[in-house]
Structure 1
Amino acid sequence: MQTPVRRVPSQPKVRVPATLEEALEPAWLSAALADVSGGKTVTEVETVEVIRTVATKVRFAAAFEGETCKRHFCLKGLLDVDAMTARGGPTCVLEADFYGKVAPVVDMRVPEAVALVIDREAQQAVTIMRDLIADGATFCSALDPFRADDALQSLDQLSRLHAKSAFLEGADWIRPRAAELAKMTYVTPAMLQELLDGPRGDNLSSRIRSAARLSSAMKALAERDAGRPQFMIHGDAHAGNLFRTGDGTGVIDWQLLQRGGWALDVAYHLNAVLPTETAEAEERRLLGEYLAMMRGRGMAMPDEEQAWAQYREAVTYGFYLWSITRRVDPPIIVQFVDRLGKAAMRHDSFGLLGIS
């Protein structure tokens, strides 16, 4: 796949909308999309679909003055949220910066962003993209069961991101999120234990289900990972953040873009998207395929045994991330904690990190 020639999105000097109603105002969209339309006025806005998770994604069609066909877009941001949720604004700024700075230089399939509305002082942003669904793409569900061949396609996309890690030089805005996650205090050990004692931990051993051990393992992983070569990684590559077109798999949702070891992405990805029995049978082969991709792109990688050990340790990252997750549909949380927890069990991830 040749490196795509992507237009750098415009960054219009307009306010960041706080509500869905504001985001779909024709006057606001006229200003936000002025560079896209050549300054034409938006005369009509049709809401196609609204998807509310933590952030809101709204698919809409806009009619521009003098044009007979509507154009289709998707806008993503924190809309109609409470003050606590609004504190997550920096992740929206991070995602906007991915589309403005990283996407133009990485040969991956990602949505085409056309406008980024960023308020750096308030740390809020919305991203306006072309509507992939209107262009024929389909989005994967977080619960979609991937086959090994499906995972190979998505690993190829991740390897293209990882192979551009020279971008990290001078890009201090891409932070070591795993290390920060290990230090965070808003989920206390008692809260984490309560979560693990719920349905998400039903099929896991008492050792893996221990909040104290999991927290210690996450801290040990972050410390070990910080001493290894740093890569530009996605950080949240489960099936719900992937889409498919006639050309293959693509990747969305860049709110956890970070720097860290390659294994954080690969171990999380494979054990999140693959059913447990498939991961157990195929993960070592798929890891070998990933290493070959990276070496083919000129990247120095550890040998197979060292890579396998790093992979086994790194399962802890995805397991911890989903163990502390609360504001996602319960069936998704249960499946990911189950898959990643079972992976931590079979790989003895805690033991490799020195946690007894």
Structure 2
Amino acid sequence: MNASTDLLIRDVDGITADWITAALSVDRPGVRVSGLDVERIIWGSATKVFVRLTFDGDPQGLPDHLCIKGGFDERSRAFGLGSAYELEGAFFRDLSPELTVEHPRGFYAASEHDQGIVIMEDLSQRGAEFCNGVDVWGVDAASETLELLARLHGETWGSKPGRFDWLPVGVEAARQAFQVMLSPEMFGPLTEREEVPDLPAHMRDGEYVRAAFAKLWEYDDASTHVINHGDAHTGQLYRLPGGRTAYLDWQTACLAPWAHDVAYFLGSALEPDDRRDNERALLAHYRDALAAAGGPRLTDDEVWEEYRRHSLHGFFWMCVPTVMQPSEVVTAMTRRYAAQIEDLDPFALLGMARG
């Protein structure tokens, strides 16, 4: 999938028949779009614009319904998410063609500093069901998603920096956003909102939480890496007819330990009581699937300790502003993640004594 940064518009008003003709014809010379109708727009940390196309002549295998995704909302950009748009464009341009796991098919991708645009399939045309982040995924679907993550992690076990200069170690966008969200000025107002449950004293201490994340990131950077989705909560998932689950958004792809994805996913996927009852069995399922996909045979103790340590990633949702995610989603996620963090106490594994 070739790309041209000349087509990196920053406003949805730039999505026209002429623009999409120029983008799609990069890989399909001669394709011509004579009409473009915007059917709906989903605003968020990355905006998705769903369009119906009319072709003048041979569509060259292109569907007439597409999704155009990019950084079209300046409010989200203000939280330091520009690098996420750039990264997702690079992911679909360079890495997507190599992945064997299910993910959306892209037809054009380009990126530059602070922006990235992907033209991808409209998955609703394949009957995809999307998780909204409020509803839980359920134990069976959680098991299927862990198989997907195990395949991604097993096939990329031991990945090193350098092959793709755009692929960061750690979730770069989250770390940049946290410089704002975890700042002394923002931490209190964000964690004390009505969307966030009452937190124990140590989780209301901004300095304590900032120190814990610094320790976790230092630990992660020195660990064995795999390709991570990086933002693997259930709101990123879709399910195809027949039950296969997959991830829609890839703007946080990175090199990181396997447990980042797994802990972050399980914290969002189940209600707290269901998670407590099933998380060890689900982790054993992931462990076996990882080994089958080419990864190492981890011990139960290794899996449990890494899972506990990386549950801290869920704290991100305590600071997610409602310009990035709807209030009801923030409320649901903070409740699940707060319970997971309190149950598993990642702070202890990071050497953080409680005052």
Residue 41 of structure 1 and its aligned partner are, at CA, apart by 2.0
Selected match of 1:152 from 143, 155, 158: 143
State the AA in 1 paired with 2:248.
Answer: I
2:150–2:290: 8 Å Cα contact kept in structure 1?
yes
Equivalent residue runs for 1:101-112 within 5 Å: 101-112=94-105
Gap change, CA 1:205 and 1:73, over 3 Å in 2: same
d(CA) in 1 for partners of 2:42, 2:134? 17
Unaligned regions of 5+ residues in structure 2, if any?
none
Residue 251 of structure 1 and its aligned partner are, at CA, apart by 0.8
Equivalent residue runs for 1:265-280 within 5 Å: 265-280=261-276
1:175–1:259: 8 Å Cα contact kept in structure 2?
yes
d(CA) in 2 for partners of 1:341, 1:98? 31
d(CA) in 1 for partners of 2:29, 2:180? 46
d(CA) in 2 for partners of 1:272, 1:237? 9
Equivalent residue number for residue 251 of structure 1: 247
State the AA in 2 paired with 1:189.
Answer: P
Residue 20 of structure 1 and its aligned partner are, at CA, apart by 1.1
Equivalent residue number for residue 304 of structure 1: 300
Equivalent residue number for residue 351 of structure 2: 354
1:32–1:117: 8 Å Cα contact kept in structure 2?
no
Selected match of 1:199 from 194, 197, 212: 194
Q: Does 1:315 align with 2:311?
A: yes
d(CA) in 1 for partners of 2:203, 2:180? 21
Gap change, CA 1:245 and 1:36, over 3 Å in 2: farther
Residue-by-residue CA offset, 1:117-160 (whole Å, 9 max, x unaligned) = 33x3x442210011111222121111121211110111111122
d(CA) in 2 for partners of 1:219, 1:26? 47
Gap change, CA 1:95 and 1:301, over 3 Å in 2: farther
Equivalent residue number for residue 66 of structure 1: 57
TM-score by length of 1: 0.89
Equivalent residue number for residue 86 of structure 2: 93
Equivalent residue number for residue 41 of structure 1: 32
Equivalent residue number for residue 3 of structure 1: none
Gap change, CA 1:226 and 1:294, over 3 Å in 2: same
TM-score by length of 2: 0.89
Equivalent residue runs for 1:1-356 within 5 Å: 9-12=1-4, 14-23=6-15, 25-35=16-26, 38-66=29-57, 71-79=64-72, 81=74, 84-85=77-78, 88-118=81-111, 120=112, 122-165=113-156, 166-169=158-161, 170-178=163-171, 185-187=179-181, 188-247=183-242, 248-319=244-315, 321-326=316-321, 327-355=324-352, 356=354
Residue 67 of structure 1 and its aligned partner are, at CA, apart by 5.6
Moved more, 164-173 or 69-78: 164-173
SS of 1:94's partner is helix
Gap change, CA 1:61 and 1:167, over 3 Å in 2: farther
SS of 2:199's partner is coil
Residue 55 of structure 1 and its aligned partner are, at CA, apart by 2.1
Moved more, 109-118 or 13-22: 13-22
d(CA) in 1 for partners of 2:185, 2:79? 25
1:12–1:115: 8 Å Cα contact kept in structure 2?
no
SS of 2:7's partner is coil
d(CA) in 2 for partners of 1:17, 1:52? 16
Gap change, CA 1:85 and 1:208, over 3 Å in 2: closer
Gap change, CA 1:114 and 1:168, over 3 Å in 2: farther
State the AA in 1 paired with 2:257.
Answer: G
Residue 324 of structure 1 and its aligned partner are, at CA, apart by 2.2
d(CA) in 2 for partners of 1:250, 1:43? 33
Residue 352 of structure 1 and its aligned partner are, at CA, apart by 2.1
1:226–1:260: 8 Å Cα contact kept in structure 2?
yes
SS of 1:134's partner is helix
Moved more, 37-46 or 50-59: 37-46
Moved more, 282-291 or 136-145: 136-145
Moved more, 280-289 or 174-183: 174-183
State the AA in 2 paired with 1:278.
Answer: D
Identical-pair percentage: 26
Aligned residues: 344
SS of 2:103's partner is coil
d(CA) in 2 for partners of 1:22, 1:267? 39
